[in-house]
Amino acid sequence: MYRVLSATGLSLLLLLAGCDASPPQVRSVDTGPGRIHFKNYCAACHQYDGQGMGDAPSLANSPWVSGPESRLIRIVLHGVRGPMLVDGKSYDREMPGFGQVLSDSEIASLLSFVRQQFSPSSEPVTVEMVTRVRSANRGRALYWRVDELLALQ
Ligand code: HEC
């Protein structure tokens, strides 16, 4: 009886796995851990609903979230400082970088979660992209300035 059940269970699993497979051209990143990292590392300032608070700008309706991922990844890796305009409001504060505490895959799932929540038409952020941006900026210790980020694609 046990064998019969497990064989059925297995084929059901295989069937489900088959249905779940995404077409190869669509990016897919598991955002489950991203939700937890967002809560642990970002929500204290940006709020869990992404609306921001006080000195921390909103992630919802932010051109930094929907814009080029190379900028978004840099902000999380090394931090950002200085004047910036988000959703019609200006900010002039600083945000610390998380490159020392978060791995590439943690940043990928975190930013994919951020985009899924606050800019659903944007693509998820892949681990490969985070790795590429991190290695292109190896040795960087300073926070990014807005004009430096805007000069990037
Ligand atoms: C200690 C508070 C703090 C934490 C924690 C924090 N941020 Fe920020 N963040 C800021 C501030 C302040 C700015 C604006 C900096 C400026 O004025 O130049 C900012 C700016 C940003 C921006 C660009 C502007 C916008 O709102 O879109 C993004 C994107 C961003 N943060 C994402 C994140 C993510 C993702 C995390 C978690 C890994 C995070 N932040 C953690 C304070 C924080």
Q: Which two tokens stand for residue 46?
A: 């940006």
Over residues 103-112, the pLDDT tens digits come to 999 999 999 9
Count the Cβ atoms, other than its own, within 10 Å of residue 127. Answer: 16
* Residue of 36, 38, 46 to test ligand 1 pocket, by largest number of atoms within 8 Å of CB: 46
- What is d(CA 30, CA 5) in angstroms, rounded to the nearest whole number? 30
pLDDT for 31:
81
User: Which of 45, 66, 69, 103 has most ligand 1 atoms within 8 Å of its beta carbon, as the pocket-test mutant?
Assistant: 45
30: CB partners within 8 A, 6+ apart: 109
Confidence of residue 138 (pLDDT cuts 50, 70, 90): very high
User: Which residues' Cβ are closer than 6 Å to ligand 1?
Assistant: 41-42, 44-46, 55-59, 62, 64-65, 72, 75-76, 80-82, 84, 86, 91-96, 98, 110, 114
**Atom number, ligand 1, closest to the C-alpha of residue 42:** 37
1: pLDDT strictly greater than 50: no
- The distance in angstroms from the start CA to the end CA of the chain is 60
Q: Give the whole-angstrom CA distance, residue 58 versus residue 53.
A: 7
What's the chain's average pLDDT? 88
Is the pLDDT assigned to residue 132 strictly greater than 90? yes
For residues 136, 140, 144, 149, the Cα torsion angle rounded to the nearest 10 degrees is -20
**What does the pLDDT look like over 7-53, one tens digit per residue?**
555 555 555 555 555 555 667 777 889 999 999 999 999 999 999 99
Distance 15 CA to ligand 1 centre (A): 42
Yes or no: say if 76 and 105 are a contact pair by the CB < 8 Å rule. no
Work out the burial of residue 107: count CB atoms within 10 Å of its CB; fewer than 13 is exposed, 13-18 middle, 19 or more buried. buried
Centre of ligand 1 from the C-alpha of residue 128, in Å: 22
